[in-house]
Structures are given as structure tokens and as C-alpha cells.
Amino acid sequence: MSTEILTYDKVNITGGFWREKQELIRKTTIWNVYRRFSDTGRFSAFKMDWKEGMPNKPHYFWDSDVAKWLESVAYLTKKQREPELEAIVDEVVDDIERAQTEDGYFNIFFQLFMPEKRFTIRGWHELYCAGHLIEAAIAYDEATGKRKFLDLMLKYAALIKRIFMDEQSAAFDSPGHEEIELALVKLYDYTKDRQWLDLALFFINKRGLKEKLPEGDDYTRGTNVQDHLPVREQFTAEGHAVRACYLYCAMADLALRENDEGLRNACEKIFSDIVNSKMYITGAVGSTHVAEAFEDAYRLPNDTAYGETCAALSLALFARRMERIEPDSRYADTVERVIYNGFLAGLSLDGKSFFYENAQEIDLENRAIVRSSLHNNKNMHFPITQRIEVFGCSCCPPNVTRFISSIGDFIYNYTDDTIYVNQYMESEAALGDVKLVQTTNYPFDGKVSLKLSGGAKKLALRVPGWCRVWTLVKNGAPVAAEVVKGYALIDAADGDEIVLDMRIAPRFVRADSRVRADRGLEAICLGPFVMCLEGVDNGGSLASVVLRRNLTVGFDDSLGLPCVYADAARETTDSLYSDTVVSTPFTAKLIPYFAFANRGETDMKIWNVVR
């Protein structure tokens, strides 16, 4: 079943949790990223006047860092004009125009340092940069009506199509870092020009055929870059998690638009592989720093977790595309798991700093032991414990700004007769011939009011996978509803108000027993939030903390977030192995995982011993 493609611009987030985040991006984050990118030469690099000996030598992925920032500005300005930000975008676009070659090429690194090598080095993110610039250009045209950026990128896309597809004269035939495929689908959606869909299909179809094997660079072969098999024969999530999910996004996009059964089948199997065996409870994916990759099924170590912010974000993008193919709530459940946990942890509460890797546990004593050990444990990599403002590889910060600025995109899809309500966010939406006003304090509260106007529709309200008790009220009267694939179905006509009330109570969650890292442990969740203990609230080291089963919900005023209190104890044995245990009771406090590491370096733990 295919549904209308609804973009963020048809939905306005009007209040609540995500409105606050969007305002934070607009007021603080977008500017902070701009300053850090300016400091590090990323904006001036577009002037193409860098010379040897100058600081801030441009890197081969800088085009994409700035492109995502430009795209973020487009999403912000679409909702409320931002002349200062627009002026910066316009200047970058002018720089691109000046630098672009006669035939349409644009890439800072290759043009500055090795113009003769363009389209010959698969590993150096050339098409990845192009893809992000294309996405930014579409968004900016859509938001402002200023067409120049898009025209420049259409010229570049035409060059890429000629070299890769028409002439097949490039040294490789599919990108080393996927991204352009999904950008080309967007370009097709926006322009309705079929050639871009064909080019996306071309890249997808060449992948894994190994017709042009890159030389020398082992990293851009095989599973690392999802090049081990033709894409329709790939049924498991493999390799670099961001590349992988961007590829799967494009595969899902093409499955929908081309009604391609092979792609749909591969996407479904890969999605199941991820959510059934390769995803942290927070929605973080890519568990190892080695190649930033998906590891073996069920291998989800907490202390050394990698979980790149961009990877979580890209899983949400993939899930969003899958729910357009089939309205099954497991897709929106995954989006929800990601956006309230593994993705959102990437941004500090003050909106100024970021995680690239997202710790799933911090055990400072264990780290100190490993670091001071004489045993050379070369394979041990721990994620950083504190967010920072800019990274050498700074893909995540502008990805966070563009994602949150366009998060309204995730709320709905609709067909001629049904509106699927996938996410609960206070908002107004124009959905075809009807308007839907959503009023809610979700996820702090489980009550959601939906007011329909302008026509009659079937509403399909997602009942979250975590929700055990819920009620549905229509115009003040309780109603029963059939639940199909996780969606409660109810008819609504002009003027109807539907209220879904989901009971949010803390619950103990276990992992599949094949997840060895979580065996015998339990996590506490509250609505969509995965909760965690932090040392700062719980007396320092958390290694010896044991929870009891008595939980109460509270609110942390300083964080502005719900919290959970648990009867707990520190339990220590009198020797390495013993049945003699000393137990010191205390009340443990848990906060939403995404808010960890906002109060200094301290232990953090999601998975608990519960005795």
C-alpha cells in the first residue's frame, strides 16, 4: 500500500516538547553550529582561496557539514523567515556559483587539491557531499523561492548523471558513502523529472555488482559500504551504520515509487534484522567504533557502545520511509524510540553541544582500570562522556539541526480515506482536504486530543508498543476501536474530537536473552523514554547499585523532565566471589536517558540489576 508523501511543511508544531526543541534550534543551536563552523574554516572554505600554510585545511567532507546547516536554515525560515541566516546561505550559494566549473562540478576538496582526480576515489565522500548539497538546495528553494542554489545543483546533478550513468566514465559506479541516492529521489519528487529517479536507481542497482572494484582502499569494499551483495539480496544490516541506513532509505523510497518488490522485500528483512537484533534499547545503532558499524546480531555491549547520532537519525529516516510502504506501527514505534532517546541524546539540554558517539553506559571506574592497566587492551574503545561543540568530523551537529527543524514530517501519512497518526506532538496539519489539530503534552502526559475539520476520514491512531492501557473517547463518549497492525481505527467527521489517553507508568523492560550484555538486567522505561541512573543523582559509581521493584514517578524541576524514583541499595560482596553481601539501602533516581551528561562527567547506567 502506498500513501501520500507528506513533508514537514504541511505540519506546524505549535507547542509542547518538540516546539521547545525547535525554538532551541532556532535561537541557539543553529547559531552555535554556525560559529563553530566559521571558527574552523568550514564556511570560508567555500571561497576556494585556501592556500598551503593557512590554518583549517579543508577536509573532503566539509561541503556536507555546511550543506546540512544550509538545509536546516531552509526548514527554519520556511516556518518563520530568518533574514540573518538567509544572508549567510545566500553568500554560500554565491560562493558555490563562483567556484562551480563550466561543466557543473562542485567540490571544495577536489577542486582545491586534486581537480584531475574527480570521480576516481570512491572513499572520499564526493557524491555524499553532492547529495547533501542537493537536499539543501531543494529545501532552500521550497522555503524561500530563491531558485539559484537549486539551479546550480541541477547542473551538478546533470554532470554526475552524464559521467556515471550515461558515459560510465567514472572510476567507480556507486558511491563509497551513500546519501546521493535518497537526495536524487527528493530531487525527483520536487522536480518530477524522471531522470533523477533513474540515476538513483542506477546507483542502487550497481551496488554490490563489483563491476568496478576500487583499487587500494579496502575500506570501501564489501560489507563496510554495503557492497557485498546486490541490494535486493541484502537481508541483514551490515557495515557503517550511517551509510547503511541512508542506502536503506533510498531503497525504501524506490520500492515505494517504483513498486519494486525486490527492494521492498530486502528493506523489510533488513529493518527486522535491525530492530530484532542490532539496535540498542535507545534506538542507537552501529554498536562498534570499528568502521562505525553494525556488529553481529545481539552483540550490543553497553560500555563500549558507539551509537553515532547520525546513525540513530538515519534509522528514523529509514523507519519513516517504511511506514509509507506499509502502515505497521513497528515503524513509528522505532521512530519514537529513536527520537526520544538515542537521537536526542546527541544534543545538550542547552542546545550548544553534541555527542557524535552516544554512550549507552558510563562506568568511570572501569575506564580508569582499563586506562591504567599494564595489559594492553587495544580493542577497548569508550565513547566520550561529555558533549562538545564541534568535532573534526562534525557530521552530527547540522544533522541534528535539520532533523529537529523538520520533525513535523514524522507525524502523519495519509491515503484518500485514512489518516495515520504516527507521532504525538502538539501541532496543526493540512492533510489533503482536511485539517487536523493535535493538542497534547505528550510525552509528559499520555493524553492526546485530535480535532478534525473539513471532511470525513478514518483516523488510525498508533497505540505505542510500550502502551498496555489506553482509552479512546469520541466527542466525550468512550468508544471501542479495532486495532490493526498497531493502529486503533476510528471514523471522524468534520468537527469531531477524538481523545486517546495512554497510561504512562514506569515499567521494567528486559532484553532478548540472546543480548548477552543485558542478560539478567532490566531497564526502566516511562512512556517513550528510556530512563537512566546518573552518578550525580546517585552517589557516584553505579556498579554496585541494585534496584528493587518499587517505583514512583516524580518531576525534576531543574531538568524540566519527569523522573522515576526506585527503592535501591548498594550491594557489595566481601570478596571477588561470595555469598556474603553487604547491602546499604537508598532511593535511586532515574532521568530520561537523552538528558544524561548535562551535569558534568559522571557514571550513567540504563541496564540494572533488579533484586
Active centre residues (catalytic): 292, 395
β-strand partners of 279: 285
- Using the contact rule CB under 8 A, the part of the chain among 28-36, 259-267, 366-374, 594-602 near its own copies is 366-374
Among 200, 325, 504, 511, binds its own copies (CB under 8 A): 511
Among 80, 169, 379, 558, binds its own copies (CB under 8 A): 379
Q: Quote the cell numbers at residue 569.
A: 541499595
Nearer to its own copies, 397 or 464 (CB): 464
CB neighbour class for 599 (10 Å; exposed up to 12, middle 13-18, buried from 19): middle
Among 14, 120, 265, 366, binds its own copies (CB under 8 A): 366
**Residues contacting residue 484 through CB under 8 Å, at least 6 positions apart:** 460
Nearer to its own copies, 80 or 575 (CB): 575
User: Does 80 interact with its own copies (rule: CB under 8 A)?
Assistant: no
Among 195, 571, 598, 599, binds its own copies (CB under 8 A): 571
- Distances in Å between the Cα of 540 and the Cα atoms of 175, 193, 331, 544 are 46, 59, 37, 10
List phi, psi (to 5°) of 418. Answer: -130, 140
Nearer to its own copies, 85 or 569 (CB): 569
Considering only residues 466 to 485 of the shown chain, the ones binding its own copies according to CB under 8 A are: 466
User: Does 315 interact with its own copies (rule: CB under 8 A)?
Assistant: no
Helix axes 62-79, 126-144, angle to 10 degrees: 20
User: What's 59's DSSP letter?
Assistant: P
Helix axes 30-39, 62-79, angle to 10 degrees: 150
Nearest distance, CB of residue 570 and its own copies, angstroms: 9
Helix axes 241-258, 194-206, angle to 10 degrees: 130
Nearest distance, CB of residue 412 and its own copies, angstroms: 25
Among 384, 388, 479, 509, binds its own copies (CB under 8 A): 509
Residue with cell 587539491: 113
Binding pattern for the stretch 519-558 against its own copies, x by CB under 8 A and - elsewhere: xxx-x-x-----------------xx--------------
**Parallel, antiparallel or unpaired: strands 523-526 and 497-502:** unpaired
Contact 386, 15 (CB under 8 A): no
Among 20, 23, 39, 365, binds its own copies (CB under 8 A): 365
Nearest distance, CB of residue 203 and its own copies, angstroms: 21
Among 259, 373, 475, 583, binds its own copies (CB under 8 A): 373
Contact 422, 413 (CB under 8 A): yes
Binding pattern for the stretch 269-288 against its own copies, x by CB under 8 A and - elsewhere: ------xxx-x-x-------
List phi, psi (to 5°) of 568. Answer: -150, 175
Size of the site for its own copies (CB under 8 A): 60
Q: What angle do CA 144, 394, 599 make, to 5 degrees?
A: 105
Among 369, 469, 484, 553, binds its own copies (CB under 8 A): 369
d(CA 17, CA 448): 13
Cα-Cα-Cα-Cα dihedral of 253, 259, 264, 266, to 10°? -100
Nearest distance, CB of residue 374 and its own copies, angstroms: 5
Query: Which residue ranges make up the site for its own copies (CB under 8 A)?
Result: 223, 228, 236, 238-239, 275-277, 279, 281, 293-299, 303, 363, 365-366, 369-370, 373-377, 379, 465-466, 507-516, 519-521, 523, 525, 543-544, 571-573, 575-579, 581, 608-610
